[in-house]
Amino acid sequence: MNTRKIWASVRIALRALLINRMRSALTMLGIIIGVAAVIAMVAVGSGAQARIKDQIASIGSNLIIVLSGSVSTSGIRMGTGNAQTLTLDDAIAIAQECDAAAFAAPAVRGGAQTVFGNNNWGTQVLGTTPDYLPIRDLAIDKGASFTSSDVDGSTKVALLGKTVADNLFNGENPVGQIIRIKKVPFTVVGTLVPKGQSPTGQDQDDVILVPVSTAKKKVIGGSQANAGSVGQILVQAQEGRSQELQDQMEGLLRQRHRLQANEDDDFSIRNMEEVFQAQESSAEVMSILLAAIASVSLIVGGIGIMNIMLVSVSERTKEIGLRQAVGAKTRDILSQFLIEAVTLSLVGGVIGIALGVGASLLISYFAQWSTVVSPASVLFAFLFSAVVGVSFGFYPARKAAYMDPIEALHYE
């Protein structure tokens, strides 16, 4: 079929659709709703995936956490973290001997009341080393971080999270000010860029970072026997080497803790990458499921197109017979009705795209749910609507094209 005949078929198809505007509009309604639903549902699923990725980024990339082991008292196992089995030297050994490790930082944590002037705030104090910042992807907002020299000298300096800074200083610059943590004076050397909530819903900005040595001696305390112990060690793996690092750390810590082959580990290793991959997979499955459910409405819309086109073929039987009598070929009639079906789908698809994008924005505004409208989902919905038009319009078009001209002319 040449270009002139194609455009002639398009004009005839559009004229036929415009004659029955209401019927054409109702026929497109199924496609409009289907395309809008697909775009909106995929946007909701993509928003969930984006939210999880943001939360993963806030925790830190390639993060592995080593926790102290459990302790048993009178046959009662107290759970992970109750035994003081990890030490500062373990963290140093991991950083130096595990070549798959980029950084390693010990951490001790405890609650404390902090005071500045007439303001006070209960928060978490985290004793660690400067390597904790790149591991957790933390950045300095104002001032500077404490240094390795501060850790070696047990200097009383502190980095404040945004929540702590806001509650103690009410918008003033805290750098250089003296705060009291459990009545011990600390100099604020810097503040941290806000991180927001963690995947578990905790406020990551409600924290004060201090040198681990200072925390052990001045804030969190502990007996002389466990002066070098830490609650956990945070380790950042080099890109693509998380599992390798996990195996290296397990072997190193078992050797350092003198564990025999038949003894259980007195520590626990948690690879956060595996946890986050599971969460991402769940969000991806949810996104696909939502798109699949929404696609059902597109199929329903396609069935509506087929029904209306069959009605149209019946109403225009004499017209078809007349066109065949004056020389119209089978492919001419086939293309005419097929173009009508595709036109209905494409026009409905364009309107559905606009409604789908609008629905995504409304969901984001009213439900406070992050939505992401991707060009891929828009293209998929539009192409799917065209495929629906071709698929469900082909049978009525074929029926019209292969109609017997004599029977068509005598049709009442």
Selection from 382, 308, 255, 333 nearest residue 25 by Cα: 308
Residue 322's beta-bridge partner residues?
A: none
The rounded distance, in Å, linking the Cα atoms of 350 and 28 is: 11
- Which residue intervals of 98-209 are DSSP H helices? 132-135, 148-152, 162-169
The rounded distance, in Å, linking the Cα atoms of 280 and 53 is: 8
Region for residue 290 given its phi and psi (left: phi exceeds 0; alpha: psi -120 to 50; beta: otherwise): alpha
The confidence score (pLDDT) of residue 345 equals 82
Residue 213's beta-bridge partner residues?
A: none
The confidence score (pLDDT) of residue 199 equals 66
The confidence score (pLDDT) of residue 60 equals 67
CA distances 391 to 31, 263, 307, 388, 395, Å, are 13, 65, 13, 5, 8
CA distances 341 to 5, 167, 313, 381, 412, Å, are 17, 64, 12, 17, 25
The predicted-structure confidence for 78-91, as pLDDT tens digits, reads as follows 445 456 789 899 99
Q: Are 13 and 341 in contact (CB under 8 A)?
A: no
The confidence score (pLDDT) of residue 57 equals 65
The rounded distance, in Å, linking the Cα atoms of 52 and 55 is: 5
Task: Look up residue 308 and give its two tokens.
Answer: 């209306």
CA distances 215 to 114, 124, 228, 407, Å, are 14, 11, 11, 96
Residues in the chain, overall count? 412
**What are the residue ranges in the chain where pLDDT is below 50?**
72-79, 81, 223-225
Backbone φ and ψ for 77, nearest 5 degrees, come out as -85, 125
Helix-helix angle 3-19:21-59, to 10 degrees:
100
The confidence score (pLDDT) of residue 235 equals 94
Selection from 231, 236, 205 nearest residue 135 by Cα: 236
Selection from 387, 389, 381 nearest residue 41 by Cα: 381
The confidence score (pLDDT) of residue 331 equals 77
Q: How many helices (DSSP H) and strands (DSSP E) are in the chain?
A: 13, 14
The confidence score (pLDDT) of residue 73 equals 46
The confidence score (pLDDT) of residue 2 equals 64
